[in-house]
Amino acid sequence: MKLCIAEKPSVAKDIAEVLGAKKRNDGYWEGNGYQVTWTFGHFCTLKEPHDYLDRWKMWRLEDLPMIPPSFGIKLIDNSGVKKQFNVIQKLVNACDEVINCGDAGQEGELIQRWVLLKAKCAVPVKRLWISSLTTEAIKEGFTKLKEADQYNNLYAAGSARAIGDWLLGMNATRLFTKKFGQGKIVLSIGRVQTPTLAMIVARQKEIDAFVSEEYWELKTTYRETEFTATIERLKSLDKANKGLEYLKGHPFVVTSFEIKEGKEGNPKLFDLTLLQVEANKKFGYSAEDTLKYVQTLYEKKFVTYPRVDTTYLSEDLYPKVKGILEDLTIYSHLTAPVLAKPIPKSKAVFDDKKVTDHHAIIPTGVTPSPNLQIEEKRIYDLIARRFIAVFYPECKVSNTTVLGTVGQVEFKATGKQIIEAGWKEVYANDKTEKKEEGDEEKVMPNFTVGETGPHEPKVHQGKTSPPKAYTEATLLRAMETAGKQVEDEEMRELLKDNGIGRPSTRANIIETLFRRKYIERKKKNIFATQTGMDLIDCIHSELLKSAELTGNWERKLRLMEKGEYQLETFKQELIDMVTEITKEVKSNSYKAIYIAPEKSKAPARSAPKEPATGSKEGKTKEAKEKKIKEEVSIETLKCPKCKEYLLKKGNTAYGCSNFQQCGFKIPFVMLGKKLSDKNIFDLLSKGKTAKMKGFVMPGTEKEVEGKLVMSGNFNLELE
């Protein structure tokens, strides 16, 4: 009897139908010489600290780092898991051969291998490796079953990832919780989670520290075309007005007129990250939701395996492309031009060297049922149009550049015209397609070098903008390139091996940060909460925060998949790092940062439990605790002007989280007097402070006393 173990009941049912195993038993299908059973997610996990040593039940600094002599696995404590595992174990012990039909990826390999290890499998194991769940793909996969040993390196990489996450997560989480959590909160530290949070916090600090500046530009309109001066932006209106007067006294002269034909290359096929980026930009879907929708489409046989990190197809897929395009009948108006000619076999699409475990996400050719959810329809449409678009001709454009002068001031204008739409025809009537910045057509008249004439100069006033907050789309891109700002698609491909996290895990990492209230959403933007910022501030070790270093670990895991790096080497590197971090944090006297969970949407911190009073030491502690509570109270109050939450703006002020529009802030120093947390709290809660000494009036050196009062227009005045 051959035993097939699938990744979930629905997949087991599909496989059973193809194999002719039609008898349903409790926990498996049977027939035609096969038994088909299933897992559902992780059945096993690495043992917890207390499974190794009883004393590791307690969270104590003196027990860190925890380094087990060897790592073991155990069943997850769940009645459903235990019941189904007993079925699998019984079948494994009675069969002649096991066929691993798990998810064809690193995580799927790990799930199934751990189950077989726990079940003490002693029979030969084969591997079903397919990229879609269509009947044709399953049949073909069973005619080409692989030896399980071919995937030993993949299993090693999955094990290394799990062990690395255990070593760092278990030790660093306990270390920082005991050092900084003060018993009020678990400070979760992760190999991928923490550098991701560090990127968000770094961007948050750039935004908070940004001070907008006004600038002025000289522009002019000549023959209904707007030109911009090529000089640096002017810092004062006076200079701009003087420039304007100068321009009014001179005619416009065309000095150069150039038209260059160019091409806009076809978009890449989707890997999971690129699909999540596109779905977030177009529909605002979270990475987790997009993964859920495309996974459902895969299980319904409409698209190929989604948890992939390549944008290429294997060369042996080329003969099947025509059939898939012909099966996309609902897109026949778009596929007709492609099918009318031989389909190009471009290296930009077909390249075995760029395909890893699976090829890019494409349609299978199975027509989607009309009762799909709207979200699933949208994701399918993205995948189908992208698949069609890669076989269209490139988009041909005409780029125009015009230079001119007004007196001694040089001006420039550019325009773009689409000559042949090419692949853009696929999106011509797509209402969800949004034009990127610089993508709009701008048709310009023909100019002659040397022509001159009157023009209409003007001054344009603008403001410098702060760095943009991350969206899920830009955060996914940053994770993919380990924080490097990369626009070129080819360069992105090269950096993928060094990205932090895997395409299949990045969505979960982001959701974990939301769930732990380290980050929050405001519309599409992602911001660090005060808890998240405090957590990163208390981590002094760059080893934990560096996206580049984490990306290097990911590269080593990929090398492990290829057999070019050893599990034991990777594990020892992690042990050394954890030991070094533990020693550093234990031996250094960092300033304590009190961190507690957010109780509401507002960034907030909680103080530790109040100490007993009575003794001198107790009173001192009580005073310290009182001071902390005063600080905490500030950040739980709202802006009196617009009712948004308050943020600490560096070392200068408390300001409204909506500062760009609201403008409210309270400086830490007012009229030469440094304000205490109590003073600021009183201003926010009561509208005034108690009487204080030490204010210095402008233009004098005389100190005066008085109360700070918040006026009706939210300005601070001395009374």
Residues whose CB falls within 8 Å of the CB of residue 86, separated by 6 or more in sequence, listed in order? none
Smallest CA-to-CA distance from 229 within 458, 510, 480, 567 is with 458
Q: Are strands 653-656 and 646-649 parallel, antiparallel or unpaired?
A: antiparallel
Q: Are 14 and 24 in contact (CB under 8 A)?
A: no
Tokens of 184: 């009020």
Q: What is the spatial distance between Cα 120 and Cα 114, in angstroms, rounded to a whole number?
A: 10
Amino acid at 411: F
No. of H helices and E strands in the chain? 23, 28
Q: Are strands 225-229 and 409-420 parallel, antiparallel or unpaired?
A: antiparallel
Q: Tell me the C-alpha to C-alpha distance, in Å, between residue 329 and each of 226, 318, 337, 367.
A: 46, 19, 13, 8
Residue 303 DSSP label? B
Q: Are 240 and 218 in contact (CB under 8 A)?
A: yes
Query: Phi then psi for 606, rounded to 5 degrees?
Result: -110, 145
Catalytic residue among 34, 155, 298, 305: 305
Smallest CA-to-CA distance from 476 within 191, 281, 204, 268 is with 281
Residues whose CB falls within 8 Å of the CB of residue 185, separated by 6 or more in sequence, listed in order? 177, 531, 595, 596, 597, 606
Tokens of 563: 């057999």
Tokens of 669: 């120093």
215 is catalytic: no
Cβ burial of 215 (10 Å; 0-12, 13-18, 19+) is middle
Query: Phi then psi for 646, rounded to 5 degrees?
Result: -95, 145
Q: Tell me the C-alpha to C-alpha distance, in Å, between residue 692 and each of 339, 633, 668, 695, 703.
A: 83, 21, 15, 8, 11
Residues whose CB falls within 8 Å of the CB of residue 267, separated by 6 or more in sequence, listed in order? 386, 389, 390, 423
Residue 178 DSSP label? I
Residues whose CB falls within 8 Å of the CB of residue 14, separated by 6 or more in sequence, listed in order? 133, 135, 138
Q: What is the spatial distance between Cα 203 and Cα 206, in angstroms, rounded to a whole number?
A: 5
Q: Are 156 and 562 in contact (CB under 8 A)?
A: no
Cβ burial of 114 (10 Å; 0-12, 13-18, 19+) is buried
Smallest CA-to-CA distance from 113 within 122, 123, 102, 124 is with 102
Q: Is 407 left (phi over 0), alpha (psi -120 to 50) or beta?
A: left
Smallest CA-to-CA distance from 230 within 463, 413, 410, 462 is with 410
Residues with a known catalytic role: 305
